[in-house]
Amino acid sequence: MIDSEVVIVGGGPAGSTCAWKLKQKGISTVVLDKKTFPRAKICAGWITPEVLRILEIKKENYPYSLTTYGSLHFHFWGRKIPILTRRQYAVRRFEFDHWLLQRAGVDVYQHEVKIIRKEFNYYIVDDTYRCRYLVGAGGTYCPVYKTFFADRYPRSARHLISTVEIEYAFNVRDEKCYLWFFENRLPGYAWYVPKKDGFLNIGMGGKLLAMKSRGKTIRRYWDDFSQKLGRLGLICQQEQQLQGWNYYIRQQHGILRWGNAFVVGDAAGLATLDMGEGIRPAVQSGIMVARTISEGIDYSHATIGKYSFPDILFL
């Protein structure tokens, strides 16, 4: 049996940030992830200045690709709308997540968590790991959420976002970051995110139930969108290896703690309501839980921003 004060299930931004803070507080922590890092993560990799601030990352100290945009370029219902945003950034997730996890400086075990039980004051994970505090950072299908929260805090299907995207090496012709909201009545938005060193991320996400009620799948929206990008000369028409993933945006109510078990990041369904931004809520919630364990402060929705716009606007 491997004993640790805290076991964190999932080594994405939520889990690694929580581990990083706990390590600073001198609390023994291990991270379990089913994948070996560096691992791929479907994500556009857009991050706000706030993410760098929370993670105490100075741009010049980040050793991998960090793309800077002077602003984001918005379109609503097919029309260009000039909105001046603060400087924004993009990372490549397989690099960023790996670097954050290494920086946390805790033991990481490659292990797919299946069965969790509570025994007196301890949580026992797959009969192999024992801890007093358990943090669920395993994303949408986190086993900690499934074991302790799913019955008490069932998520509403109305908050489920369906996405498709692709990131690939491409001779990028336009280095601006574009966003198209509600294009062809998509209940969400599509993006064009060019990255440094010749990579392009394009994708879209929208509310799954709303798409269904319009009788359209995300793939249908995607076909229209990729043709538009082709017409605009932003991509070449080519067969793309699209990938899909679902995650939850934030609900009004819900619990984030049960006993000494916590959920953070996508496991808690914390992505912002307006942009589906999940990285900032993930790192914020990771830090909050580390502080709850080490200092006893309250961990609640109130401490995590639910919108992206106030943070990205140039005020």
Ligand X SMILES: Cc1cc2nc3c(=O)[nH]c(=O)nc-3n(C[C@H](O)[C@H](O)[C@H](O)COP(=O)(O)OP(=O)(O)OC[C@H]3O[C@@H](n4cnc5c(N)ncnc54)[C@H](O)[C@@H]3O)c2cc1C
Residues that bind ligand X (CB under 6 A): 9-15, 32-35, 39, 41-46, 112-113, 137-139, 141-143, 163, 165, 203, 205, 245, 247, 265-267, 271, 277-280, 282
Cβ closest to ligand X, residue 140 vs residue 294: 140
Cα 181 from chain centroid? Answer: 20
Q: How far is the CB of 54 from ligand X (least distance, A)?
A: 12
Q: How far is the CB of 72 from ligand X (least distance, A)?
A: 11
**The dihedral sign for the CA sequence 304, 309, 313, 315:** negative
Written as one string, the DSSP assignment of 197-227 is TTEEEEEEEEEHHHHHHTT--HHHHHHHHHH
- Between the alpha carbon of residue 253 and those of residues 147, 152, 308, the distances in Å are 19, 11, 19
Cβ closest to ligand X, residue 42 vs residue 210: 42
Cβ closest to ligand X, residue 271 vs residue 296: 271
H or E element: which one contains 279?
A: helix 279-295
Q: How far is the CB of 268 from ligand X (least distance, A)?
A: 8
First to last CA, the chain: 53
Q: How far is the CB of 249 from ligand X (least distance, A)?
A: 9
CB 106 within 8 A of CB 30: yes
Cβ closest to ligand X, residue 254 vs residue 265: 265
The torsion angle over the Cα atoms of residues 15, 18, 22 and 27, rounded to 10 degrees, is -40
Residue nearest to ligand X (CB): 278
The torsion angle over the Cα atoms of residues 11, 17, 21 and 23, rounded to 10 degrees, is 20
Q: How far is the CB of 189 from ligand X (least distance, A)?
A: 11
Cβ closest to ligand X, residue 33 vs residue 170: 33
Q: How far is the CB of 138 from ligand X (least distance, A)?
A: 4
Cβ closest to ligand X, residue 272 vs residue 291: 272
Rounded distance between C-alpha atoms, residue 54 and residue 36, angstroms: 26
